[in-house]
Amino acid sequence: MQFKKEFLEKLQSAKKIVFFTGAGISAESGISTFRGKDGIWNKMKPEELANFDAFMRNPDLVWEWYQHRRDIIHKARPNAGHYAIAEFEKYLDVTVVTQNIDNLHRRAGSTKIFELHGNIERNYCIDCRTSYNAPQFELANKAPKCEKCGGLVRPDVVWFGEMLPQDEFREGEKAAEWSDICFVVGTSAVVYPAAYIPISAKQAGSYIVEINVEPTDMTRYADYSILGTAGEILPNIVDEMSRLKM
């Protein structure tokens, strides 16, 4: 696979890189994206399920939807795109800033990850915030009650209208601003404030490389837009990397 000369020069001189990832990097692991042609938002409105009011109106329905997604995620495996990002750590200082809640970057071996929208493996009580990540709660197909105070237990994911975890966002933004290259992989870049991450990188002078199967809202900011799947493109870039950094 041929890459632009300017990109290879950037790769050669780079020290710090950031991967800003979205659902597209997990598509090849069999996890549906949100807005693509087979996206889950096509079947139902995010407002119906991925927000706090929906949860309070019908906790069992929302909990069941997350159980369904957890089952899919537990059976899923990281794909070549996740493993390639983990492999980059052999050559460079790598930070992963992900919108995904599927834990696949961690399972692929990445060590510095900021999860902007939470993690589906974690749950907490909405009243006393006790965390419940033990497998016993995985089996409940109704919204479980807190053992301490009887409050409702919810998935530790960021719903629409909710604040992002401030430390994760701030640390992710800092890594993006200090990066030499910011890869934007598998995201439609329509969800804010997460989508500010590559914009902050760009404003701080980082070289923006988009990897997607189609153009997106981020393409106009990209210094280099590579059309293709993450599972195919990223391993090719790692091969180049090992050639350049030998």
Binding residue count for ligand BV8, defined by CB under 6 A? 36
Nearer to ligand BV8, 235 or 244 (CB): 235
CA 168 – CA 97 distance, rounded (Å): 8
Nearer to ligand BV8, 50 or 241 (CB): 50
CA separation, residue 69 to residues 65, 78, 130 (Å): 6, 15, 22
Tokens of 149: 């105070």
Nearest to 212 by CA among 199, 231, 229: 229
Find the binder of ligand BV8 among 29, 33, 110, 119 (CB under 6 A). Answer: 33
Nearest to 96 by CA among 193, 221, 182: 182
Q: Give me the residue whose beta carbon is nearest to ligand BV8.
A: 24
Nearer to ligand BV8, 125 or 197 (CB): 197
Residue 144 CB, shortest distance to Zn ion, in Å, is 11
Q: Is 105 a catalytic residue?
A: no
Q: What is the DSSP letter of 207?
A: E
CA 154 – CA 73 distance, rounded (Å): 17
Find the binder of ligand BV8 among 14, 18, 19, 34 (CB under 6 A). Answer: 34
What residue type is 89 in one-letter code?
E
Find the binder of ligand BV8 among 11, 62, 101, 182 (CB under 6 A). Answer: 101
Contact call for residue 234 and ligand BV8 (CB under 6 A): no
Please give the positions annotated as active site.
Answer: 117
